[in-house]
Amino acid sequence: MTQEEFAYLLQQLAVEFPVRAEDIMLVGMKDMEGRIKKRVFNDHRDSANTSLGRYASKSWKRERKKRGLQIRVVDLQYSGEMKNSLTTIQDGNDSYLYFNEDKQFGKAEGQEKINGRKKGKGTAEIWTPTDDEDKKVEEYILEITDIEV
C-alpha cells in the first residue's frame, strides 16, 4: 500500500467515524512513529529495509568508541536527540510525523544523502515508511476500529 493509499484509508475511516476521526488518525501515526523508530534506531535499517551500512570514517569510529558506543553498524542514535525529535503532531483531523527541531531535521536529511551515496544513489530514504510498516499500521487501525475492508 502506498502512502497515498494509506492516507486515503485513514480519510475513509475518518468519514465513517467522524466523532473519532482525529483519534484514529493520531493513533495510526503514533503506531507508525514507533515502527519507524524501531526500524531506524534499533534495527539500523532504511526504508528499503536494507542496512544503514558500516562506518567509513576512522576518526568517527574512534570518537564513538571513546564514548562507549558500538562501531559495528551505522547507528543514528548518537545522543538520542534525533530519536526524541521525531514525533507525531495533530493538526485538526490530520496527524503528521516530523522532526520538531530544525537541527535534527537537517541531520536526518543529511543521513539520507550519506546513505544514498554509499548505495550509489543520490539519496536513500530512511524516514519513509516501508510497505510492511504501512500494512501493519493499516491492520492495526482496522483491528481497533473493527472495520472490514
Tell me the pLDDT tens digit for each residue of 40-77. 999 999 999 999 989 888 999 999 999 999 999 999 98
Tell me the pLDDT tens digit for each residue of 122-132. 778 999 999 99
3-state SS string for the chain: CCHHHHHHHHHHHHHHCCCCHHHHHHHHHHHHHHHHHHHHHHCCECCCCCECCCCCCHHHHHHHHHCCCCCCCCCCCCCCHHHHHEEEEEECCEEEEEECCHHHHHHHHHHHHHHHHHCCCCCCCCCCCCHHHHHHHHHHHHHHHCCCC
pTM of the full predicted structure? 0.82
